[in-house]
Amino acid sequence: MLPINMQFPDYGILYIDDEEKSLKYFEAIFSDLAPIYVAQSPAEGFRLFSENHERIGLVLSDKKMPDESGIDLLGRIREVDPRPLRVLVTAFSDLGLAVDAFNDRLLYSYFSKPWDPSDLEHHMIKALRHFSLEREREKILGEKSEIIEQLLMADKVASIGILSTGLNHHVRNALTVFRTFYDMLPLQLEEEIGGPPRDESFWTEFYGEVGGQITRITSMLSSLSDGSDLALVPESEEFCMKSLVESAAEVVFGQNGPHSTSIKVGEDVPDVKGDPGRISQMVRILLQEAKMAMPESGEIEIELVSRQDSAGIKLTILDNGELIPEEDLKHLFEPFYVRAQRPEDLGSNLLACYLTAFSHGGTIRAYRSQDQRNAIEVCLPLVPPGKERVDMIRQVRDFSSRHLSDSNILTR
């Protein structure tokens, strides 16, 4: 149980020193300042940090230890998570090395031994305040960034709704005429010329191509129309995202397929509320897209973790297939995005994923990972938006429908 008057209960201090008395002394003196983690060896300290780095704000390490120097250990710790502040505790004779490490930005600061309790406490309070302010700043920036992303998504969804309403109102009527003519053409042609055409292969190929294009346009309109409904949040139920992802991966890749897949699930990933049918469909589509981008064999990595702010979950899908051009990444979820490898696909499947993420109050983005792989990231809250947002989306859609029906805006 944490002391009631603990100054920094959210961020712990890890102290690594091979002297057992020093560790006990440190823990006894500063236990009311923050949660204390102590380790008597570099290996133990690295393990403690790896397991608890999300809850640690400050790491202090003795410079001289039998198996590894404090400077090398803090360098390894930085690779795991660079955010916690690192302080080297060293003898006066080694201050030159500490200064060099400080100048190389490995250290937040350094402190000489033997340390004075009051001076060290003042030093750590200053460091933890700095760390707390940085985390609060990151949180605020993240929240603002998410709000902006949601506004951008809402604007795109509204635009898709208006586009869908207009196209279905005007283009579908014209397609009905085309389809009627197309269906009547073979019988009318045979009646006019009294038999089959002389170049039957030409008419067969041309007639098939025209029919295919009519079907393609009709399918596109249906996808846009369905997308208008996907923007609305249905009745939701609680479900296990881990089980859903594993089932979707098995459907797409099978158990003995040519592609190597791995699913990494973080600790304590919570259940979420939403429409499990829609979410499952979204995950299957994203996995199928990753699979189609791959050569005959390749590796697909799926990561599912809790978000750092504990407000939801994050699903990331990475593949080592042909890289999507950087300029195309921001257009990937647009209804008329055409991929050079698959020009017949207008991107309606990925549009459905975009609308599903939006309807659940989440975000979705495509990007290039640091190790140069295609990546798609979906963030979902634990609970989708309420009825007010559904009503707002429905009002925008219904207004657009009435406005376009009354004005013939697309035919002027």
Higher pLDDT residue, 153 or 105? 105
pLDDT tens for each residue of 223-276: 666 555 555 555 678 999 999 999 999 888 876 667 778 899 988 889 999 889
User: β-strands 259-265, 298-306: how paired?
Assistant: parallel
pLDDT of residue 17: 94
Model pLDDT, residue 35: 93
User: What is the full DSSP assignment across 84-132?
Assistant: SEEEEEE-GGGHHHHHHHHHTTS-SEEEESSPPHHHHHHHHHHHHHHHH
Q: Quick one: pLDDT at residue 60? A: 95
Quick check: 378 pLDDT over 90? Answer: yes
Pick the residue with more confidence: 406 or 409? Answer: 406
DSSP annotation of 269 reads P
The mean pLDDT value for 103-124 works out to 85
- What are 263's strand-pairing partners? 302
pLDDT value of position 410: 39
CATH H-level superfamily of 234-384: Histidine kinase-like ATPase, C-terminal domain (3.30.565.10)
> Which CATH number applies to 12-115?
3.40.50.2300
DSSP class of 339: B
- Average pLDDT score over the chain: 79
pLDDT, residue 294, reads 77
Each residue's pLDDT tens digit, 144-170: 666 666 666 666 666 666 666 666 666
Q: Is 90 in contact with 112 (CB distance < 8 Å)?
A: yes
- Distance CA(114)–CA(127), nearest Å, equals 19
Q: What is the reported pLDDT for 29?
A: 93
The larger pLDDT score, comparing residue 252 to residue 176, is at 252
d(CA 251, CA 63): 53
Instruction: Give which of 291, 368, 295, 378 is closest to 325, Cα–Cα.
Output: 368
Q: What is the dihedral of CA 393, 396, 400, 402, to 10 degrees?
A: 100
The domain ranges of the chain are: 12-115, 234-384
Distance CA 115, CA 15 (A): 13
How confident is the model over 260-317, as pLDDT tens digits? 788 999 888 899 998 898 899 899 989 988 888 777 777 889 999 998 666 789 999 9
